Chains A and B, each alone.
Chain A
Amino acid sequence: MALDSIQKQLLEQVADLHEVPSGAYNIRANGESAGRNTTANIDIVTKTDKPGIDIIIKPGTKKESVHIPVLLSESGLKETVYNDFYIGDDADVTIVAGCGIHNDGDEASEHSGIHTFYVGKNAKLKYVEKHYGDGDGNGQRLMNPTTVVNVDEGGYVEMETVQIKGVDSTYRTTTAVLKDKATLIIGEKIMTHGSQSATTDFSVDMDGIDCAAHVVSRSVAKDKSHQLFISNINGNNRCNGHTECDAIVMDDATVSAVPKVNANHVEASLIHEAAIGKIAGEQLIKLMTLGLTEAEAEEQIVNGFLR
């Protein structure tokens, strides 16, 4: 199936791709498969019991990547997709997922991706997920991703999630279970505008000895949008946990942060930080003394913050 120009634009936004990628990929467009490629080490299999795919990466696979973009350009389409990722022991791979919704119609378009990762012993995964929406219709663009991460002994997972533009409502749930010496690093970037709302809910069980988790959210809320950040870190063993919410509020926007850390073990070391506020006046003044207008200064500060 060939992609049309709108779908190509969505693809560029969510995956930085102009055409179909090299390596393993699966492109889903308007609920159907629009292309797939597997490699000697990476297999992609369509689920038979529900919508979605299994991505199976052989143990020891090094420096390979998988792209699994989802594109919705038909107004009123609602789908829930289950994707399971099996990352073999000692593998070192990058997975790029993303969802772009273009809605010119009046009906809501909705994509809920439920991604479950099984990261093998000493495996290393970088997972990048971008969400983007556009279109001129009144129909809402909704995304409710759920991510479940299981990291086996010595595994290392770095998650980068970005939602910068055009998604009207999102409820993002991320849960993780870490075994011995496993590491999870999550960096989330969100910008909301108009009357959008975004909720992110993280829950991490640090079960293994010497496991570590860093959950960092940076966000900007503009206009009348609302954001809620929830994090729940459970230190169930000797471990290091850190959760941070750093937000800029502008206009009439509102942001709430509810970080919670639970030390269920005497050697669990947990930190939570939350800083919410408007752009510091001195930052604006500094950039204005360089010749930028107030609006240009604001833009530079926001772009830098979400970089």
Chain B
Amino acid sequence: MLELKNVCFSAENDEGVKDIIKDVSLTIDEGFVAFTGPNGGGKSTLAKLIAGIYIPTSGQILFNGQDITNMSITDRAKLGVTYAFQQPVRFKGITVRDLVTMASGKELSVAEVCKYLSEVGLCARDYVGREVNASLSGGELKRIEIAMAMARGTELTVFDEPEAGIDLWSFSNLIAVFEKMHEKINGSILIISHQERILNIADRIIVIADGKIREDGKKEDILPSLLDTSAAACSVLTEKL
């Protein structure tokens, strides 16, 4: 369904041109794929390349065989690519109902909007008419972001660290949401995460580090080694302290 062929991406910063994604090739057909790896490794950049927010410096991106490398964000969205932001955007005056309706691409009844909100653990009655502004907490915004992705229901959905900014209490509910998504999935879910419990739902785990694919395989093969690594990382941290 999604294919990246030798994708490279460089960006200019104060120190000159930096290569962020270095010759990444991969194919995603499976239901639930997780990207994980150290911060700054290029996971979010890859997601943005898939959504069309960034355009590759070289290489090709194919969606269902169609070359979308230079296609706009809007056209990719219309083809069936959804990108849930790591840091959701606030809008003055636009309500939760407006956003979920825009996401679905058709007029929704209040009951339909509420169904999506309830699925992400928001008491729909309290939220449907709320403005998506600074009065909402980071966790609330994240759930609305996930509800929007569900309302879109596209063939490919990319979630960029859905757990970021969600409190521990809500985290279990979030896992339940993704478990449910996994059960009735019609397309692919690509999820960027550092959380063991989310990685545990994945069919396949791809470890991205230093702009490259470091590991790629079934969850059963990748997850145990990752957990070992995190233990090592912890000990390094402990020694420093």
Contact = CB atoms under 8 A, between A and B. Distances in A.
A291 B151 CA distance: 13
- Which of B51, B94, B148 gathers the greatest number of chain A CB atoms within 10 Å? B94
Interface string A121-154: 0000000000000000000000000000000000
A289 B83 contact: yes
A291 B91 contact: no
Nearest to A294: B74
A286 B77 contact: no
Contacts of B98: 300, 304
B94 A288 contact: no
- Which of B88, B91, B99, B148 gathers the greatest number of chain A CB atoms within 10 Å? B91
A259 to B, nearest CB: 18
A286 B89 contact: yes
A183 B82 CA distance: 47
B contact patch SS: mixed
Given A286-B85, A290-B102, A290-B148, A300 B74 contact: no
A304 B92 CA distance: 7
- Which of B51, B74, B98, B99 gathers the greatest number of chain A CB atoms within 10 Å? B74
Contact of B102 (A287, A293, A306): A287
Interface in A67-102: none
Nearest to A305: B93
A307 interface: yes
A289 B77 contact: yes
What is the interface residue range for chain B against chain A? 20 to 34
Interface string B55-90: 000000000000000001110011000110100110
Contacts of A246: 92
A37 B80 CA distance: 58
A288 B85 CA distance: 12
A289 B115 CA distance: 22
Contacts of A290: 77, 99, 102-103, 105, 148, 152
B92 A305 contact: yes
Given A288-B72, A290-B99, A305-B93, 4 more contacts: A290-B152, A291-B77, A300-B98, A305-B92
Task: List 6 A-B pairs, minimum CB-CB distance, nearest first.
Answer: A304-B93, A304-B94, A291-B77, A288-B73, A286-B89, A307-B93
